[in-house]
Amino acid sequence: MIEHNEIANSDGVIFIKRNYNTPSRWIIRYNYGRDSGGGIRVDQLVRTTANPAHTVDIYQNLLVNIRVKAFATNHYEGAETFYLRIVNNTVKNCDVAFEGKQLTANAGHIFQNNLFVGCPLGFRSYDGPEVWTVSTFRARHNMYRDMNSAATFQFDTSGQTNLSFGAWQGLGQDSASPASRVADPLFVNEAGGNYRLQAGSPARNAGADLLDLNGNGSATDLIHLGAYITGNEVIGRDGGGSPPPAPESPVPSPPTRESFSRTNRPPILTTRPAKVFWS
């Protein structure tokens, strides 16, 4: 498990690569990455007879000012219940939301309930269009703002093909109900780094709680998009880019002189001060 880290001015925020040990579940959550070249990347968890693969769950992370890819994977082979799940993350400013290379057919990777603001390209692959079939990669219940192209794939070195958001949904991506949207998520204070959702945000109750992140025992109920589900999460070491919410009740003021009583007055010193004798 990798959690509650704050990583800045790095080539990449988190990079997992080549674990050939017994299949296991990796969890990457509650991390705050900013001002770095890349975001969170998982590479070359290769499937073998002894090791059918790993499950990697990446959720409730906050990434801000990522110069290239917010999330990326290369040669990640999924099998049955072992796959990559990128769920309920918030990203502000990146070049591309997700880049996948050599994704194994029918891997079933999931990209769900994420918020992207200031990322001009949604998804990129250097493979053919078959990589974006829903049996290999499933995007659903996400929200995007400032996106110019939903996806691109490159058949060879001669060029690439770009997809509009409508064409992307035509492939079955980002169309499952509640359908993904291109909209402003309405953060509480985007300029000030508070990426919680306003009361009127269209990202509220716009996703499905795949990982039961609200802890109510259901993996199908509606949930807010992005990293802040309850609004009280601590992301990074001490809250990441977002200040903690205001307390529910005001902190009581110190008692005044008139309010002192026998039970609440300050303790009386029991040690007498030392005597000083002058000659």
Q: Please, what's the b/e burial string for 75-99 (b: 16 or more CB within 10 A of its CB; e: otherwise)?
A: bbbbbeebbbbbbbbbbbbbbbbbb
Backbone φ, ψ for residue 80 (5° rounding): 55, -115
Q: Rounded distance, CA 81 to CA 210, Å?
A: 13
Q: Kindly state whether residue 235 falls inside one of the protein's structural domains.
A: no
DSSP 6-36: EEESSSEEEEEE---SS--EEEEES-EEEEE
Q: Kindly state whether residue 246 falls inside one of the protein's structural domains.
A: no
Q: How many residues does the chain have?
A: 279
Q: Kindly state whether residue 265 falls inside one of the protein's structural domains.
A: no
Please say if the pLDDT value at position 20 is more than 90. no
All residues at 6 or more sequence positions from 201 whose CB lies less than 8 Å from its CB, including other chains: 185, 186, 187, 224
User: What tokens does 81 get?
Assistant: 């219940």
- What percent of the chain clears pLDDT 90, i.e. is strictly above it? 55
Picking from 12-21, 34-43, 106-115, 169-178, which range would have the lowest pLDDT averaged per residue?
A: 12-21
pLDDT confidence band for 158 (50 / 70 / 90): low
Q: Kindly state whether residue 88 falls inside one of the protein's structural domains.
A: yes
Question: Using an 8 Å Cβ cutoff, are 96 and 119 in contact?
Answer: yes
Q: Kindly state whether residue 83 falls inside one of the protein's structural domains.
A: yes
Q: Rounded distance, CA 182 to CA 150, Å?
A: 10
Contacts within 8 Å (CB) and 24+ apart, 258-262: none
**Within 13 Å, how many C-alpha atoms sit on residue 4's CB side?**
4
Instruction: Name the residue range of residue 69's domain.
Output: 2-182
Q: Express each pLDDT in 50-82 by its tens digit.
A: 555 568 899 999 999 999 999 998 876 555 445
Q: Kindly state whether residue 145 falls inside one of the protein's structural domains.
A: yes
DSSP-derived pairing of the beta strands 137-140 and 159-163: unpaired
Answer with the residue of higher pLDDT: 107 or 257.
107
Structural domain total, the chain: 1
Burial class (CB in 10 A: 0-12, 13-18, 19+), 62: buried
Question: Using an 8 Å Cβ cutoff, are 153 and 126 in contact?
Answer: yes
Question: Containing H/E element for 171?
Answer: none
Q: Kindly state whether residue 150 falls inside one of the protein's structural domains.
A: yes
Residue type, 263: T
Please say if the pLDDT value at position 220 is more than 70. yes
Q: Kindly state whether residue 217 falls inside one of the protein's structural domains.
A: no
Mean per-residue pLDDT of the chain:
82
Q: Rounded distance, CA 57 to CA 27, Å?
A: 5
> What per-residue confidence (pLDDT) applies to 152?
85
Q: Express each pLDDT in 165-177 by its tens digit.
A: 999 999 999 999 9
